[in-house]
Chains A and B, each alone.
Chain A
Amino acid sequence: MSECCKKYEADLIDIYYGELEMSDEIKTHLEECDLCASYLKGLEEVKSDLSLLDSDINIDNIVDETLIRKAFAAVDKKTEKKNRFFDLAIFLSIAAVIIAAALMLAYKGYGIYLIYFQAAVFFLAPIGLLGVIKMRQFKEGV
């Protein structure tokens, strides 16, 4: 590169970065000097290549969040089902013991008291329903 071209090289870099306007002198030189013209062309190509790298990486194409969420939900569902099964088994065991005790009472001749109890619950439960509804509405903030 000639001394003259070295001078214009610095100007071309400033033009590339937008810090200098293209003057008529530089334009004339570019028309005459192939080296400087190809130098400027090379800078423009680098600029266009760099602009491609500016694009954001689209994570959605790499990681599907829906799939991950579905996988976790499936695992949670399985664990919940397992826990529900164990709780039901415990409840049924306790219920069986209570019923066995009640049957024993009936067998011993206290069945009439169980009937009285059933009748009392039969009439009191609808009354209790109002209280349960009020409590539920209070908890929900209605």
Chain B
Amino acid sequence: MPKPVLLWTDVLIYCLLVSSVLALFSALKKEHLRLPLRQVTGCPTAMAALVVLFFYLLVGLSDSFHFRLKLDERPGQQIQYAPEVLSLLDIFVGPLRTRVETTYSAPLAIEAYTKETVEDKTGRRSRVYPRLLYGGSHLKDPNLRLSDIYGKAVKGSAFGLVVVTFLATIGVFLLSRVHKTVWRITAGRVLRGQCHAAWRTTFITAGVLIIIFFALAPLATHYHLLGTDKVGQDVLYLSLKAVRTGLVIATLTTLIMLPFAVLLGISAGYFKGRIDDLIQYLYTTLSAVPGVLLIAAAVLMLQIYMDIHADDFSSIAQRADIRLFFLCVILGSTGWIGLCRLLRGETLKITELEYVQAARALGVSQWKIITRHVLPNVTHIILISAVLDCSGLVLSEAVLSYVGVGVDPSMISWGNMINSARLEMAHEPIIWWSLLAAFMMMFGLVLSANIFADGVRDALDPHLQRG
């Protein structure tokens, strides 16, 4: 039995997951919330984005179950555990983690990226591109590389197609059970895109993703799909591991930031007068302090704390994790100013509107006015700015890593990848794959989050509701 390790951020992720599932179920019970939800499922772009997000979530979640493996038992000894903290993801992608080259290699390469001096049996020295330890090591003849790659990709996609067909059949079968119709009719409806929910788009997006997965999987295990970095680690592995860091920074920080921004912004706009003065004073002061300085101070303080209480943080992973968590807290408690200001302005406008006055005339309590009349009319601002902030946060993590106060250097994150790419870009010949990988992964996450948030916002707007 491996020994589970509970990290701070893990706990928070579980809480977030459970509470969002509960919230979704309670929303399904209320009619005025069910309608927008139905509309989200009917919006093809939002559903496609949701599928992509789901893949990210899957990676991030499987990377959030941590444990330490048992070491080989020796008789008469206490059970020993490996010092390394692993996650489910590490197990899933197994070979990616362990197949470490000596240094840089290009994507899908079988030889190193730079020449090295090699001494052969006769003692003659020559400068050649040495073969990689793992990348394409199954190939005897280097000339077969391309055909092998194509062969594996085609075989993989064919297999993927079979899997997709199988899954789609199961999907349609389940749908027909839910709709209580013959599966033929359901299949026809899905194919023609006549369902209320955008099942066609969902199936196609998921299908494409699954086929890509199966096409790339054999390549990833036999080669380094996205190359390797300076110390020979597989870049694909790094980008997958970085998903969790990105998700944690984006969601936890937003979660910490939102209560500040919403509560303070709306109360400033609603109550006006002294309360408004106070809140404005607070955020003006806070925004006058350079953010990086504040974060650097907090992180250094944490560092000292950890050094003093070294016993509480037994493993590297725990130290890195607490630093990530603290970073989220500090980013969250300084990042609410922009949204707060926006909400204050919008609330000022809304409280002057006549429906708020009418509610006051009816004797509705302040709290109810805020939650029923003001909050629903500013949700679009909250949604959009929260999602846009997410991408900004992932980026600011990169910037902070550059300054040296970001996530722990041992933690794999897009920020650290981009940060190391700084030197790689200056390398001759240029090493582009780390940056590209980080960029593609971030791009996919931010874009799909944006599109999905757009769909949700449209669904919440009664003006755009269809029948």
A-B complex is real: no
Show the binding face of A for B, using Cβ within 8 Å: none
Show the binding face of B for A, using Cβ within 8 Å: none
